[in-house]
Amino acid sequence: MKFRFPIVIIDEDFRSENTSGLGIRALAQAIEAEGFEVLGVTSYGDLSQFAQQQSRASAFVLSIDDEEFSAGPEEDAAVTNLRNFIEEVRWKNEDVPIYVYGETKTSRHLPNDILRELHGFIHMFEDTPEFVSKHIIREAKSYLEYIQPPFFKALLDYAEDGSYSWHCPGHSGGVAFLKSPIGQMYHQFYGENMLRADVCNAVEELGQLLDHNGAIGESEKNAARIFNADHCYFVTNGTSTSNKMVWHHTVAPGDVVVVDRNCHKSILHSIIMTGAIPVFLKPTRNHWGIIGPIQHSEFEPEAIKAKIRENPLLADYDADKVQPRILTLTQSTYDGVLYNTEEIKRLLDGYVENLHFDEAWLPHAAFHPFYGQYHAMGRKRGRTKHSVTYATQSVHKLLAGISQASHVLVQDSEETKLDRHLFNEAYLMHTSTSPQYSIIASCDVAAAMMEPPGGTALVEESIVEALDFRRAMRKVEEEYGNDWWFRVWGPEDFRSDGDGMGRTRDWELKKTDADGVETSGDDSWHGFGDMARGFNMLDPIKATIITPGLDIEGHFSEDGIPASIVSKYLAEHGVVVEKTGLYSFFIMFTIGITKGRWNTLLASLQQFKDGYDKNQPLWRCMPEFCEAQPRYEKMGLKDLCQHVHAMYAKYDIARLTTEIYLSDHQPRMTPSDAYAHIARRKTERVAIDDLEGRVTTSLVTPYPPGIPLLIPGEVFNGKIVEYLRFNRDFARECPGFETDIHGLVQEQGEFGETLYFADCVAES
C-alpha cells in the first residue's frame, strides 16, 4: 500500500544558493532517491497552521543555523522557536521522529529538554546524505508501521496481498461493478480500496468479529485499554444495537428495570424485546423545550421503590425485595447535560445490578480531564463493588468513525466479572454474520486516534473552538446593544485560563449570584430549578442557540423568531444544524471541527438578522422554501416569523409541549404485551379524537424533539389528545411548520383533508 507521508524538512535556506541550502537539498534528494516523498518549507509558520499537514508527516528534519546563536546568556530566538515547534508537535504526537540538522558545534547549544525529544542530531557535512537519508527513512517507516492498530494493519496487509477470492461478497473486490456502466460509476466514486477491502469473514488472517479473536480481538482489547474499560466489543450496527446487546444480556421477561424517560428509541425497543417492566425516571424540562437532567433525589433507592409501589403493572411485586436488573441513563442528553457517574454509582451500587450509561454522544469525555467524573469510565477511578458498569458509545457521532460504528464498554465490579461467553450470546443475537469490515476498521482507527496525547489534544481543540464560538456570539450581542441577537444556552460567566480552556465548575448546573453565593431556581441560566451540587454539568461542545420570542418561564413576547425558520434559512445558505426545537436549535463541535468553521455560521446568522430586520421578501432569501410552500411567497422574512410566532403563542405551544411530557403516563399492560397485539393483528386504527383512554401498541414520537411521548401499553390521556388535535389544526393553518409525529397514521379524507389515526389495542 502506497501512502503519502512525506518527510518534512524545515530550513530557511531550503531554496537558497548558500552552503546550508546546498547541504539540505542534497539530503532531500537522497531521501527522494530512496522513493520517499519530501516536503520542504522555509519556516515553522508554513506548517504550524496546518494541522493536517503535520499529521501527514512521517518525520521532521528541523534545521538550525550556527549563525543564529549569540554569545549572550539569554536563550536565542532560534532555540525558542525550535522548542515551540517541537512542543506543538509533541502535544499531539509522542512518536513521530524529529531530527535536528546543524553543525556539530550547534548541538552543544541545544538544551536538554529539546535533545530529549529528538530521534537524532544530523551533523551537517559529517555523514553522507545517502547514509543519513537511509537512517531517517528507516525510522519513518517504522513509525508508520507502529501507528497502525491491530485490525487495520492486518487489513492493509491483506489488501496489499491482492489474492483472488472465491468467497463473498460477490463483487469480488469490486470487479463485478466494472461490468456495467452504473457499476463503473460506483467503483470510480468509492475507489478501488474501499471495494478491495470489503472482505468477508472467510478471511482467516483478519480474525472473527463474532468470536472476538485474531486481529479483531486484539483491536477490541486495544480499544478497551484506551477507553479505560475491561472489555470492549465493536458493534457494526450503531449504538441502537449496542444497547440491545446490553439489555439482552442483562434483562429477562418480567424483570423490573429503571429507565430514563427521555431515552433513545433503542432502549424502548429493548424493553419490548425483553419483556421487562419499566419504571421511569423523569427528567426536568425548561420552557424552551430543553430537556434537563433527572433530579438527584430520583436516584435514591427509596424513590425508586416508591415508583415500583405505584406502578399498576407491579402490583404483585414486593417493592422492598425487588432488585432492578438495570438502570439505563442517557449520559449526555440531546442538549448536552451530563451526570456525575460516580455519584450515581455510589447511590445505586448493589441495588441495581447493572448500571448502563448510554453515552452515544459522549465517547470523547474520557480523553480530557475537563470532564472529570462526568462520564462512565475514567482512568484511575475505582470500580463499583457489586454492580457491573456498561457504557455504549456511538463512535460515529463524535469521533472519527463511519456511520454505524459503535462499541460496548464493560467495567467489571469487584465482585462480578463479565462472563464473556454469556455476553457473546446476546452479541450474536444482534450481529450480522456478514459484518462490514470497514466499520470494524473505523472502530479500530477511531480508538487509536484517541490515545493520549493525540486524543486529549483533539478534544481540547473542540472545547476551545466551542468556547471561542460562545465568546464570539457574546461579542456580537454586546455590539448590537439593545437590539436583538441570538443567545447561546449556558452559564453567563465562564472563565478561561491562559490556553483558552474553561473551568469545569463553570459548567456545572448551579447558580452563583454576583457575590459568588450559590443560588438556584427559575432565574438560573438553565431554568431547571434546584440542582444538587456537583451532580450535573453542561458539555460546552454542544451548543443550543436560542432565538428570541419565548422567555425561560414560557412567556411569549410580542415578536418572535421560531427556530425552524432560522434553521430552514441556514440550510438554504449551506449551514445544516443538528436539531431544531421551537425557539432553539442545536450545533455540535466534534473533533472534525476546523478552526473557525463557526465563522460561517456566525455570518449566516448575521445575514438572517439583517434579512429579518429589513423584512426581506421570502422569494429572495428562502427560494427553496417558497417553492415548496408557495402560499408564503409574498411574505417577508419578518412577516413569516411573526405569522408562525403568533400561532405558537395562540396555542401556548411551549406550555403544551412541556406538559404532555410531564403529564401522567399510565401503563395498562407491559410494552411487550401491547406490542404482541401487532403480531397477532389484534389492533385497531383509532381516529385521534377518539383516543382518550385507549392503549397504544406503537411508540408515539413527536419530532422535534424526537423523544417518545408514549410507549406501547400506555394510555392516551386527555392532555395528549389535546396536543394531537392542536397539531392537526396547526398543520392546517401553518403548513410547512407542523410537528411530525412518528407513530401516527395519516390518511386522506373525503375532501382531501388529512386524517390522523393511532394504532391501539383492539377492544373487542
Ligand X SMILES: *Cc1c(COP(=O)(O)O)cnc(C)c1O
Cβ distance to ligand X smaller for residue 238 or 324: 238
Of 71, 70, 72, 64, the C-alpha closest to 101 is 64
Measuring CA to CA, which residue among 444, 338, 458, 470 is closest to residue 398? Answer: 458
Asked whether 448 and 221 are in contact (CB, 8 A), the reply is: no
Q: CA–CA separation, 344 vs 364, rounded Å?
A: 20
Q: Segment near ligand X (CB under 6 A), from 233-241, 303-311, 313-321, 630-638?
A: 233-241
Considering only residues 641 through 700, tell me which ones interact with ligand X, judged by CB under 6 A.
none
Q: Are strands 59-63 and 337-339 parallel, antiparallel or unpaired?
A: unpaired
CB closer to ligand X, 36 vs 334: 334
Single out the segment in contact with ligand X by CB under 6 A; choices: 214-222, 354-362, 373-381, 506-514.
354-362
Residue 538 binds ligand X, judged by CB under 6 A: no
The size of the interface with ligand X (CB under 6 A), counted in residues, is: 12
Q: How far is the CB of 242 from ligand X (least distance, A)?
A: 7
Give the residue with the Cβ less far from ligand X, 106 or 270. Answer: 270
Q: Please, which residue, 9 or 591, has the CB nearer to ligand X?
A: 591
**Minimal distance, residue 233 CB to ligand X, in Å:** 14
Nearer to ligand X, 326 or 669 (CB): 326
Residue 386 or 430: the one with the smaller Cβ distance to ligand X is 430
CB of 338 to ligand X, least distance (A): 12
408 beta partners: 233, 392
Stretch that binds ligand X, among 52-60, 190-198, 357-365, 727-735 (CB under 6 A): 357-365
Q: C-alpha angle 410/277/706, rounded to 5°?
A: 75
Counting DSSP H helices and E strands in the chain, the numbers are 27, 27
CB of 487 closer than 8 Å to CB of 476: no
Residue 239 in contact with ligand X, rule: CB under 6 A? yes
CA-CA distance, 520 to 526, in Å (whole number)? Answer: 9
CA separation for the pair 611, 95 (Å, rounded): 51
- Name the residue nearer to ligand X (CB basis): 238 or 713: 238
Cα–Cα distance measured from residue 264 to residue 247, given in angstroms and rounded to the nearest whole number = 13
Radius of gyration, CA atoms only, the chain = 30
Closer CB to ligand X, 214 or 238, in the complex: 238
**Three cell numbers written together for 521:** 431556581
| Consecutive H or E run containing 356 | strand 354-358
- Number of Cβ within a 10 Å radius of residue 743: 18
240 near ligand X (CB under 6 A): yes
Interface with ligand X by CB under 6 A: which range of 154-162, 303-311, 355-363, 612-620?
Answer: 355-363
Residue 360 binds to ligand X (criterion: CB under 6 A): yes
Helix axes 437-450, 454-480, angle to 10 degrees: 80
Nearest to ligand X of 266, 698 (CB atom): 266
Compute the least distance from the CB of residue 709 to ligand X, in Å.
16
Give, for 154, the enclosing helix (H) or strand (E): helix 150-161
Phi, psi (deg, nearest 5) at residue 16? -85, 160
Under the binding rule (CB under 6 A), the answer on residue 238 touching ligand X is yes
Residue placing its CB nearer to ligand X in the complex, 328 or 683:
328
The nearest distance, CB 118 to ligand X, in angstroms, is 43
**Per rule CB under 6 A, is residue 431 in the interface with ligand X?**
no
Residue 760, interface with ligand X (CB under 6 A)? no
Output the DSSP codes for 672-741. HHHHHHHHTT-EEEEEGGG-TT-BBSS-BEEETTT--SB-TTBBPPHHHHHHHHHHHHHHHHSTT-PPEE
Indicate the residue whose CB is closest to ligand X: 238
Stretch that binds ligand X, among 5-13, 174-182, 232-240, 692-700 (CB under 6 A): 232-240
C-alpha to C-alpha distance for 422 and 246, rounded to whole angstroms:
11
Write out the binding residues for ligand X, residues 2-31 only, by CB under 6 A.
none
Count other Cβ atoms within 10 Å, centred on residue 572.
14
With left for phi above 0 and alpha for psi between -120 and 50, is residue 372 left, alpha or beta? left
Residue 358 binds ligand X (CB under 6 A) = yes
Residue 266 or 657: the one with the smaller Cβ distance to ligand X is 266
Question: Nearer to ligand X by C-beta: 240 or 698?
Answer: 240
Instruction: Pick the binder of ligand X from 54, 394, 536, 670 (CB under 6 A).
Output: 394
Rounded distance between C-alpha atoms, residue 198 and residue 173, angstroms: 7
Question: Shortest approach of ligand X to residue 705 CB, angstroms?
Answer: 12
What distance in Å separates the CA atoms of residue 715 and residue 693, rounded to the nearest whole number?
6
**What binding mask, one character per residue, do residues 252-281 give for ligand X by CB under 6 A, x or -?**
------------x-x---------------
CB of residue 245 vs ligand X: minimum separation in angstroms? 12
Of 129 and 704, which has the nearer Cβ to ligand X?
Answer: 704
Written as nine digits, the cell of 136 is 531517517
Q: Of 734, 566, 550, 546, nearest to 657 (Cα)? A: 550
37, 47 contact by CB (below 8 A): no
Nearest distance from C-beta of residue 224 to ligand X, angstroms: 19
C-alpha span between 583 and 645 (Å, rounded): 10
Size of the chain, expressed as the number of residues it contains: 764
289 phi/psi in degrees, rounded to 5: 85, 10
Which is closer to ligand X, CB of 361 or CB of 612? 361
Q: Largest Cα–Cα distance of the chain, in whole Å? A: 99
Q: How far is the CB of 126 from ligand X (least distance, A)?
A: 56
Least Cβ distance, residue 332 to ligand X (angstroms):
7
**CA–CA dist 681, 687 (Å, integer):** 18
| Closest distance to ligand X from the beta carbon of 283 (Å) | 13
Stretch that binds ligand X, among 172-180, 235-243, 613-621, 753-761 (CB under 6 A): 235-243
Q: Considering beta carbons, is residue 104 or 403 the nearer one to ligand X? A: 403
3-state secondary structure of 314: helix
Q: At its nearest, how many Å lie between ligand X and the CB of residue 264?
A: 3
341 part of the interface to ligand X, by CB under 6 A: no
Least distance (Å) between residue 453 CB and ligand X: 27
Question: Minimum CB separation from ligand X for residue 337, in Å?
Answer: 12
DSSP state letter for 739: P
- Contact set for ligand X, span 90-119 (CB under 6 A): none
Euclidean distance between CA atoms 536 and 555, whole angstroms: 26
User: Which of 143, 227, 234, 361 touches ligand X by CB under 6 A?
Assistant: 361
Question: Minimum distance between the CB of residue 331 and ligand X, rounded to whole angstroms?
Answer: 8
By the rule CB under 6 A, 539 interacts with ligand X:
no
* Contact by Cβ (8 Å): 327, 360: no
Instruction: Give the residue with the Cβ less far from ligand X, 395 or 758.
Output: 395
Percentages helix, strand, coil for the chain (3-state, rounded to 5) are 40, 15, 40
**400-419 positions binding ligand X, by CB under 6 A:** 406
| CB closer to ligand X out of 577 and 762 | 577
Q: Is 581 in the site for ligand X (CB under 6 A)?
A: no
Shortest distance, CB of residue 430 to ligand X, whole angstroms?
11
- Which one of 286, 295, 328, 330 is in contact with ligand X (CB under 6 A)? 330
CA distances from 480 to 411, 470, 487, 610 (A): 51, 16, 12, 12
Taking contact as CB under 6 A, which single stretch among the options 62-70, 236-244, 582-590, 703-711 is the one that binds ligand X? 236-244
CB of 223 to ligand X, least distance (A): 16
Closest CB 333 distance from ligand X, rounded Å: 8
Neighbours of 519 (CB within 10 A): 12
Chain residues binding ligand X by CB under 6 A are: 238-240, 243, 264, 266, 330, 358, 360-361, 394, 406
